[in-house]
């Protein structure tokens, strides 16, 4: 026995020494940057300390027993087996402790769920596997995709500092304002979570949930999707940048102008034809960002889950059907409608790419005008 426990302790010491390397990971819940997240943190600590105190008391009595009331010490066992007084006492005391816990929890909860009188409203829509942000009071909306490269995930490149927690276009919110999030989904259930705000809200398809925050410190805050949403659930992070009110105003005005200009440019493009190289370059970029998660970078798909595009009938022959499925998706499957997610030229390019990449050498060139024509039908 002595030898056994010696071995066990040395193993434990080794493992503890091993664990001390990870000094960079916080060991506790974040305090966050909002009043609510501070309240949640303190609530968490309060319950934690109460649990510790109960644990020390109960386990203390138990280990006292284990050490002193053992047969090897020659003790005679007592024979008592009930005591109404004691049993009532240890039913009543926990009830009182629970009431003490419930009061602050109730107060915080009511504050968290009060989404009234918001200054800014943002519609957040989850879809497999990206977030879409739409500012309700401005003509600004965009998708936010994982920015970490495939090579980093596949261990072919050194992983960056914000590995899996970086996006191409973060959500931008003003500081000092009550920001209301309207959360919904286009396909399965997702959950929008930013630990620093203590906001986690499920995105349910067909329903809109509400949450809110008021951030006082400008900064970059990172989170992740928290509800299993299919294959790439681990790869749809949330990044929020909080800017001072003036910076936010400037940013959103510029963003609105850029998006309006892009729409005009799109119309002009209808009259122009892109070369095959241009289409293939833009097409590959779009494909990798929007299509490769399911259909795979090599166009082979995942048998039984996501169909292959390489050598498929649709990508080789039926062009109208090909354009239609990219534009409108296919109901009852994971294939999304990309008409609103991508520009006309991006759709034209990606269809061209799919019809010419991986030995799909159809030679078909699809232009933005073709897409516009298909859309107007």
Q: Map the footprint of another protein across residues 316-345, applying CB under 8 A.
A: 332-334
Residue 131 CB, shortest distance to another protein, in Å, is: 15
Query: 176 vs 234, which CB is nearer to another protein?
Result: 234
Question: Which residue in 340, 315, 338, 318 sits closest to 327, CA to CA?
Answer: 338
Among 13, 49, 56, 65, binds another protein (CB under 8 A): 65
Binding to another protein in span 116-135, by CB under 8 A: 128
Binding to another protein in span 266-325, by CB under 8 A: 302-305
The helix or strand, by DSSP H or E, that contains position 237, with its residue range, turns out to be: strand 237-243
Does residue 79 bind another protein (CB under 8 A)? yes
How large is the angle between the packed helices 276-286 and 344-356, nearest 10 degrees?
A: 100
Query: 149 vs 343, which CB is nearer to another protein?
Result: 149
Provide the β-strand partners of residue 181. 122, 211
Location of structure tokens 């059907």: 321
Segment lying near another protein (by CB under 8 A), choices 40-48, 119-127, 256-264, 346-354: 40-48
Cis link prior to 129 (omega < 30° from 0)? yes
Report how many residues bind another protein under the rule CB under 8 A.
111
Query: 8 vs 261, which CB is nearer to another protein?
Result: 8
Query: Please, are residues 122 and 171 in contact by the beta-carbon 8 Å criterion?
Result: yes
Can you say how many angstroms the Cα of residue 65 is from the centroid of all Cα atoms in its chain?
48
Residue 290 CB, shortest distance to another protein, in Å, is: 17
Residue 17 vs residues 6, 23, 24, 25: alpha-carbon distances, Å:
17, 12, 15, 16
Does residue 27 bind another protein (CB under 8 A)? yes
Among 169, 178, 200, 285, binds another protein (CB under 8 A): 200
Does residue 87 bind another protein (CB under 8 A)? yes
Segment lying near another protein (by CB under 8 A), choices 16-24, 136-144, 242-250, 257-265: 16-24
Distance between CA atoms of residues 31 and 44, nearest Å: 10
Does residue 43 bind another protein (CB under 8 A)? yes
Query: Please, are residues 179 and 118 in contact by the beta-carbon 8 Å criterion?
Result: yes
């Amino acid at each position: 026995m002595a030898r056994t426990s010696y071995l066990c302790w040395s193993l434990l010491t080794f493992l503890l020494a091993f664990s001390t390397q990870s000094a960079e990971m916080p060991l506790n819940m974040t305090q966050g940057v909002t009043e609510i997240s501070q309240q949640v943190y303190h609530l968490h600590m309060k319950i934690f300390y109460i649990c510790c105190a109960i644990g020390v008391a109960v386990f203390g009595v138990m280990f006292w027993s284990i050490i002193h009331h053992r047969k090897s010490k020659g003790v005679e066992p007592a024979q008592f087996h009930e005591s109404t007084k004691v049993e009532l006492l240890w039913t009543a005391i926990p009830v009182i402790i629970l009431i003490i816990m419930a009061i602050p929890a109730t107060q915080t909860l009511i504050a968290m769920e009060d989404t009234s009188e918001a200054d800014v409203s943002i519609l957040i829509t989850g879809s497999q596997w990206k977030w879409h942000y739409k500012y309700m009071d401005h003509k600004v909306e965009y998708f936010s995709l994982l920015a970490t490269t495939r090579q980093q995930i596949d261990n072919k490149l050194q992983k960056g500092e914000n590995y899996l927690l970086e996006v191409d276009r973060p959500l931008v919110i003003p500081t000092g304002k009550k920001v209301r999030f309207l959360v919904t989904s286009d396909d399965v259930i997702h959950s929008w979570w930013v630990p620093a705000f203590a906001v986690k809200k499920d995105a349910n398809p067909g329903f809109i949930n509400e949450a809110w925050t008021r951030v006082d410190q400008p900064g970059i805050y990172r989170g992740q999707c928290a509800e299993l949403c299919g294959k790439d659930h681990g790869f749809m992070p949330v990044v929020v940048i909080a800017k001072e009110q003036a910076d936010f105003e400037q940013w959103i005005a510029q963003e609105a102008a850029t998006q309006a200009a892009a729409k005009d440019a799109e119309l002009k493009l209808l009259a122009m034809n892109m070369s095959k190289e241009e289409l293939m370059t833009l097409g590959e970029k779009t494909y990798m960002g929007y299509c490769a998660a399911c259909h795979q970078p090599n166009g082979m798909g995942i048998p039984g889950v996501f169909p292959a595009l390489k050598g498929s009938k649709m990508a080789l022959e039926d062009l109208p059907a090909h354009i239609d499925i990219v534009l409108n998706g296919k109901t009852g499957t994971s294939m999304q409608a990309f008409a609103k997610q991508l520009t006309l030229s991006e759709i034209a390019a990606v269809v061209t790419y799919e019809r010419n990449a991986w030995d799909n050498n159809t030679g078909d060139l699809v232009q933005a005008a073709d897409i516009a024509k298909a859309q107007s039908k």
